[in-house]
Amino acid sequence: MTLSAREIKDIRALGQKKFRQERGLFTVEGTKLVEEALQSDFEVTAVYRSQEIGEAAMQRITQQTSPTPALAVVKMKQQDATLPSSGLVLALDSLRNPGNVGTIIRLAEWFGIDTVLLSPDCVELYNPKTVQATMGSIFRVRCIYTPLTEALESMRASGMPVYGTFLDGESIYDAQLPKDAVIVMGSEADGITPPIARLCNGRISIPSFAAGGRGPESLNVAIAAAITCSEFRRTR
């Protein structure tokens, strides 16, 4: 199988958000992720394997720094946007780092969280770095871009408490955590944005054990999300 210059150009273009959005397509790379795409309910429009198209062609279409043995072109999926009224839900407030967002989607699945809400200014889900960091969870976790104030107000109205991590919150190890809740994660630099912070009726904090109070100011947001999800699950 030989790829035409046009095909190579079309696949490479999916490295850019503009073309991904225009075409409604994105790429995933690596044997495992390509298999997970094929097994998912996402539509895979093409699969390229280095044994078929050759290493040189793979090198030209990859978004990775080192070539991978397989690449799939996948159609974006319009997710059902119904807000859950039970269980745990993660809400990501203005997270810009693609690796962090992907890692959070992966750990959400680990902790049995099937819906992740993203504020519209979060990094694009189909950024290759986000997709790769999900390690396939992108195909199984429902990720919904939605204005968070409206979504959180509506979920609160339906009885879901909204939890956020704050520097001055109650220790997550002492707090009585509910079974059903929305957990908001804000960016490391700015924290949860003020309009969203006002909607949090649970204010929790991950205590630092650094000696002499001279430790790091914060945890990486994916790390903080993991510890928070772990505590919500553990206490049930």
CA angle 138, 200, 217 (to 5 degrees): 75
| Of 76-84, 115-123, 147-155, 214-222: span binding a copy of itself (CB under 8 A) | 214-222
Selected from 106, 116, 119, 192, the binder of a copy of itself by CB under 8 A is: 106
Number of amino acids touching a copy of itself (CB under 8 A): 34
* Position 206 contacts a copy of itself (CB under 8 A): yes
* Position 223 contacts a copy of itself (CB under 8 A): yes
Q: 70 or 152: whose CB is closer to a copy of itself? A: 70
Q: Within 10 Å of residue 80's Cβ, how many Cβ atoms?
A: 8
List alpha helices for the chain, DSSP H: 5-13, 17-23, 31-39, 50-53, 55-61, 98-110, 128-134, 148-157, 194-197, 221-234
For residues 25, 29, 35, 36, the Cα torsion angle rounded to the nearest 10 degrees is: -70
List alpha helices for 54-147, DSSP H: 55-61, 98-110, 128-134
Selected from 4, 5, 6, 214, the binder of a copy of itself by CB under 8 A is: 214
The minimum distance between CB 108 and a copy of itself, in angstroms, equals: 10
The minimum distance between CB 2 and a copy of itself, in angstroms, equals: 32
Binding residues among 142-181 for a copy of itself as defined by CB under 8 A: 173
Selected from 137, 165, 187, 205, the binder of a copy of itself by CB under 8 A is: 137
What is the rounded CA–CA span in Å between residue 184 and residue 13?
33
Instruction: Give residues with Cβ within 8 angstroms of 79, minimum separation 6.
Output: 142, 143, 144
* Position 38 contacts a copy of itself (CB under 8 A): no
Binding residues among 78-97 for a copy of itself as defined by CB under 8 A: none
Strands (E), 81-209: 88-93, 115-118, 142-145, 162-171, 181-186, 202-205
Positions that interact with a copy of itself (CB under 8 A): 99, 103, 106-107, 109-112, 114, 133, 135-137, 140, 173, 206, 208-211, 214-216, 218-220, 222-223, 226-227, 230-231, 233-234
